């Protein structure tokens, strides 16, 4: 289990909701592993409509996501679609080098795609310190959830050598786009963020050695 180490200067940040006097809602208040609800495989928004409506949203309301919405977004990004473990996003050689995390008011969680579960990594709201690591971007501090895509290049390098870095980052793009199109279908807004200090994001989230943060995707209700 990863150990979370907060930067001294960032750990004092106050969550955006608390600063506005809004009560922070917790959708996974318990401890340990969370079994997520079964994802839907049919919706009311077509692929074409989701593509047309998708845009970068940086201004979110304080309304929390539901557990079902978090479940659906995680599945869209990295959920399994076949009994042998194929995922929603294509992967070079089916090696699946990505790790997916979600930062919520109640803590940091790692997504287990095969079992469709969340593993609680740490308690406490890391959105403000994560926003600090992302150059102070308000969308990271204020979104109901921030999805973090990390890559483990070693999983791909054994087969693809020097091209593994390219393949891992291409795959991160696949997963992020899936997540953002799913957000549209749920009536939510999102924005892909690549502007952050890698080392600071690693420290805020306590990422294990070998995991590189590639993408932050804040998601929430439109204001």
The answer to whether position 49 is within a domain reads no
The answer to whether position 17 is within a domain reads no
The answer to whether position 23 is within a domain reads no
The answer to whether position 30 is within a domain reads no
- What pTM did the predictor assign? 0.87
Ranges assigned E (strand) in 71-154: 98-104, 107-112, 117-123, 145-151
What confidence score (pLDDT) does residue 29 get? 67
The answer to whether position 6 is within a domain reads no
Give the CATH number of the domain where residue 198 resides: 3.40.109.10
The answer to whether position 94 is within a domain reads yes
What confidence score (pLDDT) does residue 25 get? 55
Q: What domain range is 123 assigned to?
A: 59-220
What confidence score (pLDDT) does residue 32 get? 81
What confidence score (pLDDT) does residue 26 get? 72
CB 118 within 8 A of CB 110: yes
The answer to whether position 128 is within a domain reads yes
Per-position pLDDT tens, the chain of length 223:
333 332 223 233 334 444 444 445 577 766 789 999 999 999 999 999 999 999 999 999 999 999 999 999 999 999 999 999 999 999 999 999 999 999 999 999 999 999 999 999 999 999 999 999 999 999 999 999 999 999 999 999 999 999 999 999 999 999 999 999 999 999 999 999 999 999 999 999 999 999 999 999 999 999 9
The answer to whether position 64 is within a domain reads yes
Question: How many independent structural domains does the chain possess?
Answer: 1
The alpha carbon torsion through 218, 81, 151, 90 (nearest 10 deg) reads: -100
Handedness of CA 30, 33, 39, 45 (dihedral sign): positive
Phi and psi torsions of 104, nearest 5°? -120, 165
What confidence score (pLDDT) does residue 14 get? 36
């Amino acid at each position: 289990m990863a150990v979370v180490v907060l930067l001294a200067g960032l750990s004092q940040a106050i969550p955006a909701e608390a600063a506005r006097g809004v009560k922070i809602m917790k959708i996974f208040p318990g401890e340990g592993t969370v079994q997520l609800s079964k994802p839907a495989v049919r919706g009311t928004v077509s692929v074409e409509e989701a593509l047309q409506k998708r845009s970068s949203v940086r201004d979110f309301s304080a309304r929390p996501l539901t557990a079902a919405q978090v479940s659906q977004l995680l599945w869209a990004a990295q959920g399994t679609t076949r009994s042998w473990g194929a995922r929603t996003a294509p992967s070079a050689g089916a090696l699946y080098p990505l790790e997916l995390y979600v930062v919520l008011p109640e803590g940091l969680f790692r997504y287990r795609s095969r079992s469709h579960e969340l593993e609680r990594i740490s308690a406490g709201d890391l959105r403000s310190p994560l926003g600090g690591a992302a150059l102070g971007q308000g969308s990271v501090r204020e979104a109901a959830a921030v999805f973090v895509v990390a890559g483990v290049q070693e999983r791909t390098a054994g087969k693809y050598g020097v091209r593994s870095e390219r393949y891992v980052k291409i795959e991160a793009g696949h997963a992020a786009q899936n997540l953002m199109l799913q957000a549209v279908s749920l009536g939510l807004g999102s924005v892909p963020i690549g502007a952050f200090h890698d080392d600071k994001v690693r420290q805020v989230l306590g990422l294990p050695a070998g995991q590189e943060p590639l993408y932050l995707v804040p998601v929430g209700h439109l204001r």
